[in-house]
Amino acid sequence: MKNGIALTGIKPSGTPHIGNFLGMIKPALELAKDYQALYFIADYHALTTVKNRDELKKLTYEVAATWLALGLDPEKVIFYRQSDIPEVMELTWILACFTPKGLLNRAHAYKAAVDENLEKGKDSDEGINSGLFLYPALMAADILLFDTNFVPVGLDQKQHIEITRDIAQAINGNYKKEILTVPEAVIREDVMTIPGLDGRKMSKSYDNVIPIFESSKEIRKRVMRIVTDSRKPEDPKDPDEDNVFAIYKHFASPADLQRVSDGYRQGGLAYSEIKNALYELLEGEFAQARESYWRYMDDFTYLEKILQQGADKARMISQPKIEEIRKAIGIE
């Protein structure tokens, strides 16, 4: 018996790195063991910024291939593409009519765009599309349409879940009926702490990532580029201050972890050695997934089939739910 519904949206953002894997993908796959998971590709959210047709399509397939390659089982997880669920759009409008405009004015992403304009002496809304403004309402629809109990997200999305809760409560309050399930955020604190090659948070914008699906050669090159201090092999080192160890510890077995951290503390461990060990671990973890990924990326027809099957399952939930909501608000 599952403990409830866990739902999250994945905004396509290019080829994934091990920070994405540790921070989001792996915990989400774990969560799917105990909850009925609904994971979807948020392509309509991506449309707020991605305006190139081929790019949007490719980004969508990349997400699908990534998750399948890394072990998502589409028989167990309902895995779909947001735009295949028309009920999401209908609910977005309904929710918008219960969303105070001021609440959206204060949403971080929109507010940051406005502040940036003002700082540059521009008109406050210059270059900002209404989709970006309504982004939180669309996200609330994603969540509320499926009576979601838990939403695993990074800290940056916390406010969006709070907005979702506010909207759900406003509707339930107005109709004096528990029409919508008020969801809870499950925040992954550790998303922030996975360092990249230079020790800052691993992020594409810093160009400090270790990609998952690049060639072994490229991954090796990246690992060798991890910044270390100039201590010699014989010098004792603190493992918790080393960038290589900070990544290594997420992949090593407990026994190896013990042996290696002793090696750091006692001296005698060269950075080149631990880098090699990390590279080997990453190969062990991802070599097979890499093959699957490229196989999927060569077979969009297959990916389409999987996404369609996911959408069929999702709509078994969303269709009766939208009917229920329509009835409750007097639109039938």
Side-chain-side CA neighbours of 22 within 13 Å: the count stands at 25
String of DSSP letters for 209-266? --BSSS-HHHHHHHHHT----S--TTS---GGG-HHHHHHTTTS-HHHHHHHHHHHHH
The verdict on 36 binding ligand TRP (CB under 6 A) reads: no
Alpha-carbon distance 9 to 204, whole Å? Answer: 19
CB of 138 to ligand TRP, least distance (A): 7
CB of 46 to ligand TRP, least distance (A): 9
153 or 163: CB nearest ligand TRP: 153
Asked if residue 225 lies in contact with residue 211, where contact means CB atoms within 8 angstroms, the answer is no
Q: What type of residue sits at position 187?
A: I
The verdict on 153 binding ligand TRP (CB under 6 A) reads: yes
The verdict on 8 binding ligand TRP (CB under 6 A) reads: yes
Q: Which residues pair with 36 in a beta bridge?
A: 5
Per-residue interface string for the shown chain with ligand TRP, residues 108-147, x marking contact by CB under 6 A:
-------------------------------x--xx----
Per-residue interface string for the shown chain with ligand TRP, residues 154-193, x marking contact by CB under 6 A:
---x------------------------------------
| Piece of 7-15, 199-207, 242-250, 269-277 that binds ligand TRP (CB under 6 A) | 7-15
| Piece of 6-14, 26-34, 252-260, 320-328 that binds ligand TRP (CB under 6 A) | 6-14
* Residue 326, CA distances (Å) to 21, 81, 316, 323 in order: 39, 23, 16, 5
CB of 123 to ligand TRP, least distance (A): 26
The verdict on 201 binding ligand TRP (CB under 6 A) reads: no
**Ramachandran class of 147: left when φ > 0, alpha when ψ lies in -120 to 50, beta otherwise:** left
CB of 12 to ligand TRP, least distance (A): 10
H/E element holding 153? strand 150-153
What does the binding site for ligand TRP look like in residue numbers (CB under 6 A)? 7-9, 11, 42, 45, 139, 142-143, 151, 153, 157
